[in-house]
Structure 1
Amino acid sequence: MLIGEVSRQSGVSTRMLRHYDTLGLVKPTGRTSGGYREYSADDIRRLFHVESLRTLGLSLDETRRALDEPDFAPADLVGDLITHTRRRIAAEQELLTKLERVDATAPSEWEDVLRMVTLLRALESEFAARRQQAILKQDGNASLPIDALAEAALSEDDLNVAGALQWSLSRAAGQGLTTLAVGLESAGVDVRRRAVAAIAAVRTAEATTHLRRALEDSDAVVRSRAALALGARGSIDAIPDLLEMVFTGQHDVEAAEVLGVLTEVSHALGTILDRMQATLDNSNDPPTRLRITQALAEIPGPEAHEALTRLAHDHDRTIAATAAAIMTTQERKQRQR
């Protein structure tokens, strides 16, 4: 069979067939009287073997070795091909994701496309300053790839960049919450912590719902972040966790401040003071009792003042002195008003 006919039947160009001949990969066993290449049945069979191996991603040299070297072991080579193929697929999938995110913003001009592509590339930078700058420079009125920002917030470990991402998401009118909520279900505690911090920056009813769910998390940090955010929004659901934060000393100052706000916007004063008094009466741990005493400084009203008055005569001198100092400060402020 002459080269032209081989090309038509195999789909391999005559140029490539000549290249295979030059390399010794598929050499025609014969020549016509006019010097044209003439392929035998065995040559055609080898050609199809070559093309089959090439479809797996083997180079020409690897293909030649696979066919001609009896001791050539395919296992390692196939393993390398699998790794290479997975990387190529991952790269293609990453490109597809970027295109879908750009498309989701319905860009009207190429300038919008280029701006979003620039942002997406910057989010992948190894330099935190570049990531932060790219986020902060975005126009608040422009369409943004919100899901990409939300995913970045779930993986960002630089506090400054994380803050920039939370700021950007807070301006997105609740977009991205679905992605962030998925982060609350992650097996990784760091992801859940990032998720609740980002959700806390969003002031919508849906965000509040997700924060309430985060109160059930097994991690104390996730619960505390959710409680502080909910308490600041006037939700009494946060009270048990806020009190626990005071008792255990985890962000107890911030928790006490939020409890003070809650007593003014809800009818929870009695509940808060009862829990504090019960712990004061039943705890033998001086640091815990001292934190509760300090927290009472944030609670308005005569009931809290009465509790401080009793503590000013406490058997623990540090607690007594602290309670007395708080009342003195409060009385001074009252006179100045």
Structure 2
Amino acid sequence: MNDGATPGGWLRIGEVARRTGLTVRALHHYDRLGLVVPSERSWGDHRLYSPSDLRRLLDVQHLRALGLSLAEVAAALDDPGFDPNRVLDEHIDQLRQRITLQQQLLERLSVLRAGNEAAWPDLLDTIALTARLRHPDATVRVRAVLDGEAIPLPVLLDRLATESDPAVQGMLAWAVAQHGTPAVGPLVGLLASPHADVRLHVVQALAKLGDPAAVEPLIGLLDDPAEPVRSASVTALGRLGDERALPALIRLLGGTEVPLSAAVTDALIDFGAPAARLLAADPPAGASARSQAVEVLAQIDSPAARDALLAHATDPDPQVRLAAVFALAGVPGEAADAALATAAASGDRQLVAVAERIIADRRR
């Protein structure tokens, strides 16, 4: 019969190959392995496949499509004790690993493509540099950052998001900052990183860039769970000098965390007169916050700062009064003299002693 089938419904190997899409060589291989052995042979010693042989062959193809090896396929078809779930679990794990690797490759290619505007030789240089940025030795990674004068921004951001060594993170943040304004948006995106050290270095990079677009995201980090990130955000806002940050910074006055408290003081002093005007117009409610406000005001040379110190010299809290009177030593004028005289006559022994000493010094 010219279709490859015999009168009894048997199929010759060529017809089996045509129907299944397998090659004759593969069918011979299955026969040698005992995986699918033709049930009959013709008078001319040609392999003849029965309908049951064909069904077994289809079962083999289906199992192979699931990723099973030929040995596993044979066991699945012939071993009564074969556990399909165990094999499937193993292949699921392997597939997940391959998907992860492929996803990582996709991300690497996307990063390289996003940062590539050069010819092929330059792209090869970038690939080599990227490999150094992934080197297991942190010293090699630092050197790669220092040597890479034109590392594409997407490559730097990708590494900053995944780097674990603080020294390398700092260098990557510095390198990102060299890209200027185009780096601001992507850096802000990295502030959502679950890793506090990444957020910390992103904040430091944003501080170096000095772009107003970073102000609102940095204000949002004042509630960050990591104190170093909060302190760095305060410092960055002080450097940026955008008055939108002042109300949020003033609300932090009186805190008990020493590094954060010191950062708030320094940041408000950096703002200068605008900070003094807000502190004078709306003094903080808590005594500890007012004490810290006095520390800030004492280091700002402005009319609003002087007026606020004079007001705090009669504060209801003795520690705030004492800090304000002590700060008046550097404030000239009759108003300060009058406030000092009032303090010297207050009856508060500690306040009187400080006020009298300052008055005596001013008379010299």
TM range (shorter): 0.7 to 0.9
Partner in structure 1 of residue 203 of structure 2: 196
**Structure 1 residue 167: deviation in Å?**
1.0
User: Which of 45, 48, 63 in structure 2 is aligned with 1:35?
Assistant: 45
- The structure that has the greater radius of gyration is 2
The more displaced of 158-167 and 168-177 is 168-177
Between the aligned partners of 2:58 and 2:172, the Cα distance in structure 1 is 54
Partner in structure 1 of residue 92 of structure 2: 82
Partner in structure 2 of residue 330 of structure 1: none
**Structure 1 residue 90: deviation in Å?**
1.8
Per-residue CA shift, 1:275-302, capped at 9, x if unaligned?
A: 6x756xx53x6xx787666555643357
Equivalent pair of 2:276/2:297 in contact (CA under 8 Å): no
User: Which of 169, 181, 187 in structure 1 is aligned with 2:188?
Assistant: 181
1:159 aligned partner, one-letter code = P
Change (3 A) 1:95 1:138: same
Equivalent pair of 1:253/1:295 in contact (CA under 8 Å): no
What does 1:89-238 align with in structure 2 at a 5 Å threshold?
89-139=99-149, 142=150, 144=152, 146-185=153-192, 192-215=199-222, 221-238=228-245
Partner in structure 1 of residue 259 of structure 2: 250
**Structure 1 residue 52: deviation in Å?**
1.1
**Structure 1 residue 57: deviation in Å?**
0.8
Equivalent pair of 2:268/2:275 in contact (CA under 8 Å): no
**Structure 1 residue 172: deviation in Å?**
1.8
**Structure 1 residue 214: deviation in Å?**
3.7
1:137 aligned partner, one-letter code = D
**Structure 1 residue 136: deviation in Å?**
2.3
Per-residue CA shift, 1:162-208, capped at 9, x if unaligned?
A: 11111111122333444433343456666654543443333333333
Equivalent pair of 1:166/1:201 in contact (CA under 8 Å): no
Partner in structure 2 of residue 335 of structure 1: none
User: Which of 67, 73, 91 in structure 2 is aligned with 1:57?
Assistant: 67
Change (3 A) 1:122 1:273: farther
Between the aligned partners of 1:220 and 1:208, the Cα distance in structure 2 is 18
Q: Please, which runs of 5 or more residues in structure 1 have no aligned partner?
A: 328-337
SS in 1 for 2:171: helix
Partner in structure 2 of residue 66 of structure 1: 76
Between the aligned partners of 1:96 and 1:200, the Cα distance in structure 2 is 32
**Structure 1 residue 61: deviation in Å?**
0.7
**Structure 1 residue 84: deviation in Å?**
1.0
**Structure 1 residue 6: deviation in Å?**
2.1
**Structure 1 residue 219: deviation in Å?**
6.0
Between the aligned partners of 1:204 and 1:136, the Cα distance in structure 2 is 24
Per-residue CA shift, 1:57-107, capped at 9, x if unaligned?
A: 111111110111112111111111111112112212222222222222344
1:257 aligned partner, one-letter code = D
Change (3 A) 1:255 1:211: same
The more displaced of 17-26 and 205-214 is 205-214
1:172 aligned partner, one-letter code = H
Between the aligned partners of 2:72 and 2:86, the Cα distance in structure 1 is 12
**Structure 1 residue 159: deviation in Å?**
1.9
Partner in structure 1 of residue 8 of structure 2: none
Change (3 A) 1:35 1:55: same
Equivalent pair of 1:214/1:222 in contact (CA under 8 Å): yes
Partner in structure 1 of residue 269 of structure 2: 260
Between the aligned partners of 2:84 and 2:146, the Cα distance in structure 1 is 51
2:301 aligned partner, one-letter code = P
Between the aligned partners of 2:292 and 2:218, the Cα distance in structure 1 is 26
Change (3 A) 1:14 1:87: same
Per-residue CA shift, 1:22-43, capped at 9, x if unaligned?
A: 2111112222333332222222
2:87 aligned partner, one-letter code = L
2:49 aligned partner, one-letter code = Y
Between the aligned partners of 2:159 and 2:40, the Cα distance in structure 1 is 63
| TM-score (normalised: structure 2) | 0.71
Equivalent pair of 1:230/1:237 in contact (CA under 8 Å): no
CA RMSD, aligned part only?
3.8
Change (3 A) 1:212 1:230: same
User: Which of 6, 11, 22 in structure 2 is aligned with 1:12?
Assistant: 22
* Identity within the alignment, %: 33
Between the aligned partners of 2:235 and 2:313, the Cα distance in structure 1 is 29
Per-residue CA shift, 1:218-273, capped at 9, x if unaligned?
A: 76654443332122122123334444555323343443333222115xx3323235
